[in-house]
Amino acid sequence: MADETIPVNATGAQLSLQKVYIKDASFEVPGAPHIFQEQGQPQVQLNLQQQVGTLDENVYEVVLTVTVTCKLADKTAYLAEVQQAGVFGLAGFDPTNRDMVLATFCPNVLYPYARSAVSNMIQDGGFPPFLLQPINFEALYAEQMRRTAEGAQPNA
């Protein structure tokens, strides 16, 4: 993928996507082949995690971990996990806006790749197609900021 630089505003802030890659992926079917004979309504749990690491000045690795666990009658049918990563260049951002871009824009870029990888693993594992619903990372970030602000306020 080519290094694309996107001017963000007139103040000179720039964002570049340098690389998108799968850092780690795993798929487990602990009860195979017997789980394929189980009947019942599957219970699916989605877990998202995000890590940001500094690679160089103004260069960051963002890792979005998507874990999908499916259970049938209290037995794990499958566990799919993808660590979708990207290297992003961010220059000219103040710390608050930089953190917001790393927590919202970057996972929005990575999520479709992770979504596709998870869906393919599940289907290739012998299960019906599964599509992850879109995620509003801006709302998740706003909720995280709200909780942080509430936790920082002294109790009256």
Chain segment 12-35, per-residue pLDDT in tens? 889 999 999 999 999 999 999 999
What is the pTM (predicted TM-score) of this model? 0.86
**Any idea where the domains of the chain sit in the sequence?**
4-152
- Tens-digit pLDDT profile for residues 81-134: 999 999 999 999 999 999 999 999 999 999 999 999 999 999 999 999 889 999
User: Please, what is the Cα angle at 136 between 135 and 140, to 5 degrees?
Assistant: 110
CATH of domain 4-152: 3.10.420.10
Q: Which residues, 6+ apart, have CB-to-CB distance to 9 below 8 Å? A: none
Q: What is the rounded CA–CA span in Å between residue 24 and residue 104?
A: 21
